[in-house]
A = this chain, B = another copy of it.
């Protein structure tokens, strides 16, 4: 029975799992679970992941959730996955675990909350929260500096100075990619000072092409949708500023 990957490409950990599968030629079935339609809350999906979060996989009778656990499982269970994704050598493998563990309360915590509270919340029927955005921005910028100055030290183009990407590169780069949803000036302000981070994103994209852009396509489309909404709102606001003095004379 084929591996089933339950994913929403708008979810960055879902994208990391899909790209790992595609880049390694794994025969799998992608099952779309749309967060914007709250499909992850359905009883069918709850039976797969009681925490109602994406991604999740089913391999035969085995169910698993939490993206890092899934990435490790796929790299271990499918012999076709090249060693660099999840090195067999214990010390190299342990360093990959160290990056993955660090990620949760740093880059992921900052990036996900910043994008949610700056642009994405309305699309999910939630309010934008400026205070939460400000807190998240601090964590995000500090995390990017640490990636630039600590994790990307060394001779290679990838995390831990490696010459080939690991599942940690995939997880962290997919997280940063959601900054595509931000207003371009805001994205440049945040990512601009981190030149090594930008090169590393490009290296990861190149190492996994054409799958990287194919899986991220949904994000680029959402960006256009958000830009159009923003521009319409701005036009609306402009129009209402013009109209207000008129209506006040009525």
Contact residues of A with B, CB < 8 Å?
50-51, 62, 64-69, 72-73, 76-77, 90-91, 94-95, 97-98, 100-102, 104-105, 108-109, 146, 150
Contact = CB atoms under 8 A, between A and B. Distances in A.
Interface of A is mostly: helix
Contacts of A72: 94, 97
Given A51-B102, A64-B95, A67-B101, 10 more contacts: A62-B91, A65-B98, A66-B97, A68-B97, A69-B97, A73-B90, A73-B97, A100-B101, A105-B108, A105-B109
A66 to B, nearest CB: 4
Nearest to A101: B66
A46 B72 CA distance: 29
A73 B150 CA distance: 21
A113 B102 CA distance: 17
Given A72-B94, A90-B76, A97-B72, A102 B146 contact: no
22 contacts: A50-B150, A51-B146, A62-B91, A64-B94, A65-B98, A66-B97, A66-B98, A66-B102, A67-B101, A68-B97, A68-B101, A69-B94, A69-B95, A69-B101, A72-B94, A73-B90, A73-B97, A76-B90, A77-B90, A104-B104, A105-B105, A105-B108
